[in-house]
Chains A and B, each alone.
Chain A
């Protein structure tokens, strides 16, 4: 039992932190935001090819590094700290679904391409599959406008859909760094996965942890930046950071963030070890991290005053990402309701009769 990074994990963390800090600058993120696809292609290329970050958790036979959820969380946290405009989450969903539920051929064909960054993947829920064809409309597909391969969980199965088989429309999305797209599939040909439920389960569990890690990184950035501002902004002849009303809020942000850090790494570790409480941990991490991020991003705006409300300042990027992390793949309330069931609130209390 040792709940801290191994030397190798610490090194990965160091590397990805400086990579994203140097590369995923505010200027680059904003440039990507201006487009409908919200994608920094150059950053994606170097993340996938130079650092191998996209295939990190993939088995080596598919061109990955065979690492676990802990390492994936480290990457997501570092990217989240910079609100990087990358389809990391959406690709991870597709990758996890394929690994867990794809046929041998599907895995061999797609996984190396996804790992190298050559193909961007995404995941959506909706529509209906009938005789190898997908009908209907799939909303809220993250980074859908740049994805070429979609895993679609539909009525009647989970299937692979390639971009040219359907009509993909970018949506005006509140979080422009992770914009949604809409898919209209009018009888598009799809290929069923071998094990749909396993694919969904794997994608969800990994997705929840990835979102929680993204939120952890983002919340920490909100705190770091607000602390720096509170030390330099002077009002009433004092740095505003000397006022208790400000100090206590910043302290509360740190308290929440440290709990979230425990939650994210617990969830990742439990997933890697196949621990019996892995599912509960993933729900816990997603619920808590989303709340923490919204709390910290909201405070970031408040404690910056007027400047925090401007487009020019980065606060709104964090605020919007926080909202997206909260709603995507289940709200905090939904995850807590799952936990309520897991702790047995639905059963009657038999031992009480004794």
Chain B
């Protein structure tokens, strides 16, 4: 067991720091410190392309597809320095962290060669078309249909809560391709270009006042037959594997961003005197512990390879970070007091920490709610009996 970094790894760190500094003090200085997922989309698109050009976009990927074959330690280091530099959240995080790894795992050579480099270059942004009005936790209940028409798939149906669809070029869609099939059977995993007449994206305003997610309508939308990942009817396996990637290196990157948020809470508490309150001190200490442990939890899961205890432990990670961040949001608003409830400007704009308080209510919902995740832990990691299912027909 070894946590320290080697001189080579430290040299890599220096290279990353230098590059990030140069960009974020120079041409991209305006993006430094941005935390909102929807702010300055055009500039952040340019940032994605800049990362790609310099091959910092997807460093863990194979070189052949635009990555650097970076080791785990290097990925950790880059994620740390990225957050430390105040670089903005990745507009293409779904492409980089979910679509990409899934294509790497399930794609044909042709698909990998065609689809991965544009993600690595920061040219094509992706979003995730899983949830539907009647298929949330019960994702296998999707109704969106697709069928073959000559060399194309044709898609009909509706997705909802599609994050960042308004900025995306591609969406991956779980659709029912075997008429009359039920549950996880008969589904396919389709990759669909968004910019076409058959796809309509309508933003939905959320609790923060912002609109990061959308309704996405498919009305005779088309995609080439080649744009299916895995076999027709086997989409569920692909969809589930993708959810597994949500606990990959991306969790490390995210955790580094949380550091900035906790630091902001600590600064606020010191500034307004809340840091003298013994209960606030306890909560800040708890948050600090939880934050550190997210890092070591992620490192443990990533260092430990696959299989057995580590695989089971990894199932706990979603609840760990989601609950942590929700508590951080509550701590943030409690530190601010009433001042945190007063906004800036006329259009429901709040400061970073107040927005964090509101936004963090989503963490325990998206990517599978805490309740669903507890079921998964209980059944898959602890081997408890499956919960009975009703038949809603």
User: Contact residues of A with B, CB < 8 Å?
Assistant: 1-6, 9, 70, 223, 227, 230-231, 238-239, 241-242, 244, 246-248, 250-252, 254-255, 258-259, 261-263, 265-266, 268-270, 273, 275, 277, 280-281, 284, 287-288, 333, 336-337, 339-340, 343-349, 351-352
Contact = CB atoms under 8 A, between A and B. Distances in A.
B274 to A, nearest CB: 10
Contacts of A250: 377-378, 382, 384
Interface in B53-83: 72-73, 76
Interface of B: 1-5, 9, 72-73, 76, 266-267, 269-271, 275, 278, 281-282, 284-286, 288-290, 292-293, 296-297, 299-300, 303-305, 310, 313, 316-317, 319-320, 323, 371, 373-375, 377-379, 381-388
A1 B299 contact: yes
Nearest to B381: A254
B313 A261 contact: yes
A-B complex: 6 closest residue pairs judged by Cβ atoms: A247-B378, A336-B285, A349-B270, A251-B374, A242-B385, A251-B377
B342 to A, nearest CB: 19
B270 A4 contact: no
A246 B285 CA distance: 30
A209 to B, nearest CB: 14
B1 A5 contact: yes
Contacts of A263: 289, 292-293, 296
Contact of B299 (A3, A239, A345, A349): A3
Contact of B281 (A248, A258, A265, A340): A340
Contacts of B317: 258
Given A5-B1, A239-B384, A352-B271, 11 more contacts: A4-B303, A231-B383, A241-B378, A247-B375, A247-B387, A258-B316, A259-B316, A269-B2, A287-B285, A339-B285, A352-B267
B297 A262 contact: yes
Contacts of A284: 288-289, 292-293
B282 A336 contact: yes
Contact of A265 (B4, B72, B76, B296): B296
Tell me which of A266, A268, A269, A347 has the highest count of chain B C-beta atoms within 10 A of its own C-beta: A266
Given A247-B378, A352-B270, A6 B289 contact: no
Tell me which of B278, B290, B297, B304 has the highest count of chain A C-beta atoms within 10 A of its own C-beta: B297
A4 B1 CA distance: 5
Nearest to A9: B1
A266 B296 contact: yes
Contacts of A277: 292
A242 B378 CA distance: 9
Contacts of B282: 333, 336-337, 340
B267 A255 contact: no
A252 B382 CA distance: 11
11 contacts: A1-B2, A1-B5, A1-B299, A2-B1, A2-B2, A241-B384, A247-B382, A255-B377, A259-B290, A259-B293, A284-B289
B304 A4 contact: yes
Contacts of A2: 1-2, 303
Main secondary structure of the interface of A (DSSP, over half): helix
Given A227-B384, A254-B316, A255-B319, A262 B3 contact: no
Contact of A344 (B73, B270, B271): B270
Given A5-B1, A255-B316, A262-B300, A288 B384 contact: no
Nearest to A1: B73
B293 A262 contact: yes
A3 B386 contact: no
B226 to A, nearest CB: 40
B3 A273 contact: yes
B79 to A, nearest CB: 13
Contact of A3 (B1, B319, B373): B1
A281 B292 contact: yes
A259 B378 contact: no
Contact of B4 (A251, A254, A273, A287): A273
Contacts of B2: 1-3, 269, 273
A259 B269 CA distance: 26
Contacts of B373: 251
A116 to B, nearest CB: 27
Given A255-B319, A281-B292, A345 B281 contact: yes
Contacts of B377: 250-251, 254-255
Contacts of B310: 4
Contact of B270 (A254, A266, A270, A347): A347
B271 A343 contact: no
A192 B205 CA distance: 70
A239 B320 CA distance: 28
Given A336-B285, A351-B267, A242 B1 contact: no
B1 A336 contact: no
Contacts of A339: 285, 288-289
A336 B4 contact: no
A248 B319 CA distance: 12
Contacts of B73: 1
Contacts of A1: 2-5, 9, 72-73, 76, 299, 303
A23 B299 CA distance: 34
A284 B385 CA distance: 35
A4 B4 CA distance: 13
A250 B73 CA distance: 33
A3 B293 CA distance: 12
Contacts of B286: 336
A261 B300 contact: yes
Contacts of B9: 1
Contacts of B290: 259
Contacts of A247: 374-375, 378-379, 382, 384, 387
B77 to A, nearest CB: 9
B265 to A, nearest CB: 11
A339 B286 CA distance: 9
A242 B379 CA distance: 9
A270 B275 CA distance: 27
Contacts of B278: 337
Contacts of A270: 3
Contact of A231 (B270, B381, B385): B385
A148 to B, nearest CB: 34
A263 B2 CA distance: 14
B37 to A, nearest CB: 26
Contacts of B371: 244, 248
